[in-house]
Structure 1
Amino acid sequence: SWRDYSKMMRVAHSVRKSAVIAVVDDEGDATYYESNWNKLK
């Protein structure tokens, strides 16, 4: 959910790390996405 993603990003930011999310498709292949904290002004 969006709330879980937001929580994960806050934790990653607080420890100065990037968040990596893996999505596994029907064939069992994993795609990795890296996300960083950006503050919008």
Structure 2
Amino acid sequence: MNLALRKIIYDPISYIHPQRVSLNNTPINNPVLRSITNEMI
């Protein structure tokens, strides 16, 4: 599993704020992960 996605799943709060820009620049191709990520942002 991608390290960034692992951080989203296990530690979403600390992931969103410091890395929001890099997250927005990362293509998320899996629709389930995309929906999870969109809900957290």
> In which range does the TM-score fall when normalised by the shorter chain?
under 0.3
Q: Which has the higher strand share?
A: 1
More helix by share: 2
Q: Report the structure number with the largest CA radius of gyration.
A: 1
TM-score by length of 1: 0.27
Q: TM-score, normalised by structure 2?
A: 0.27
